[in-house]
Chains A and B, each alone.
Chain A
Amino acid sequence: MRRFALLLLAGASSLVAALPAQGFGVYEHDTCTMGRAGVSAANPCPNGSAIFFNPAGLGGLQQTHISAGVTAIAAQGGFTDDFLQHRSDLDNPVIPVPNAYVTTAVSPKVTAGIGLYIPYGLETNWDSTSFEGRFLGYHTYVRSIYIQPSLGIQVSPSLKLGFGVAYITSSLNLRQRSDFSQQLVPVGVPPGTTFAALGFQTGTDFADANLHATGTGLAFNFGGIVKVSDRVSIGGHWLTRKRIDYDGTAEFRQVPTNLTLPANNPLGLPAGTPVDAVVAPSFGAGGPLSGGKAKTSIEMPPQGTLGVSWKASPDWTLMADYQYVVWGWFSDITIDFENPATPDLVLHPSNKDTHGFRFGTEYQYNAKVKLRGGYLYHTGASPDEFVTPLLPEGPRNEFTIGTGIELSPKFHADLAYQYIKQNDRRGTVNLSAGNTGLYQFSAHLFGIGAAYTF
Chain B
Amino acid sequence: MIRSLRYSAVLGLLLAAACQNDELITPYANQPVDPLFDRYVALGNSITAGFQSAGINDSTQNQSYAVLLAHAMRSPFWSPLFTKPGCPAPYDSLFAKTGAPVPHRLNPQLPAPGCALRTTPPSPPPFISNVAVPGARVIDTYDNTTNPTSPQLNTFILGGMTQVQAMRRAGATFVTVWIGNNDVLGAVLDTANSGNPAEVTDTTLFKTQYGNLLDSLQAAGITKAVLIGVANVTLIPYLVRGSKFFNVAYGTDSIPGPNAANKKFPPNFLVNPNCAPPAGDSVFVPYPRGAALVALARVQPALTLGVDCSDVHHISRAEFLNMVAAVTSYNTYIAAQATTRGYVFIDPNQLFAALPAGAIPAFPNVPAAGNTPAFPAAYSAPFGAFFSFDGVHPSAAAHKLIAQTLVPIINTAYGTAIPPIP
Contact = CB atoms under 8 A, between A and B. Distances in A.
Best-surrounded residue of B22, B23, B126 (most CB of chain A within 10 A): B22
B80 interface: yes
A426 B125 CA distance: 19
B299 to A, nearest CB: 36
Contact of A199 (B20, B76, B118): B118
Nearest to A377: B18
Interface residues of A, number: 50
A80 B155 contact: no
B122 A434 contact: yes
A438 B124 CA distance: 17
A74 interface: no
Interface stretch (A141-149, A258-266, A293-301): A258-266
Contact of A201 (B24, B30, B169): B169
Interface string A247-259: 0000000000101
Nearest to B159: A200
Interface in A149-206: 181, 188-190, 193-204
8 contacts: A84-B76, A85-B26, A199-B118, A202-B126, A271-B148, A423-B21, A432-B122, A438-B22
A399 to B, nearest CB: 12
Contacts of B19: 397, 423
B144 A262 contact: yes
Interface of B: 18-27, 30, 76, 80, 111-113, 117-120, 122-128, 144-145, 147-148, 151-152, 154-161, 166, 169
Best-surrounded residue of B145, B147, B159 (most CB of chain A within 10 A): B159
A82 B25 contact: yes
Interface in A51-86: 80-85
Contacts of B126: 81, 83-84, 132, 202-203
Nearest to A396: B18
Interface in A401-441: 423-426, 430, 432-434, 436-438
Counting from the closest, the 3 A-B pairs by CB-CB distance are A259-B160, A200-B159, A433-B123
A197 B118 contact: yes
B77 to A, nearest CB: 11
Given A84-B30, A197-B119, A257-B160, 17 more contacts: A85-B26, A85-B30, A132-B126, A181-B124, A196-B118, A199-B157, A201-B128, A202-B124, A260-B144, A262-B154, A264-B151, A266-B113, A271-B145, A397-B19, A433-B122, A433-B123, A438-B22
Interface SS of A by simple majority: loop
A395 interface: yes
Contacts of A423: 18-22
Interface of A: 80-85, 132, 181, 188-190, 193-204, 257, 259-266, 271-272, 275, 377, 394-395, 397, 423-426, 430, 432-434, 436-438
B120 A198 contact: no
Contacts of A394: 22
Nearest to A264: B151
A194 B160 CA distance: 14
Contact of A434 (B112, B123, B124): B123
Given A83-B76, A202-B126, A265 B26 contact: no
A197 B160 contact: no
B152 to A, nearest CB: 5
A265 B159 CA distance: 10
Given A83-B76, A196-B124, A434-B122, A424 B22 contact: yes
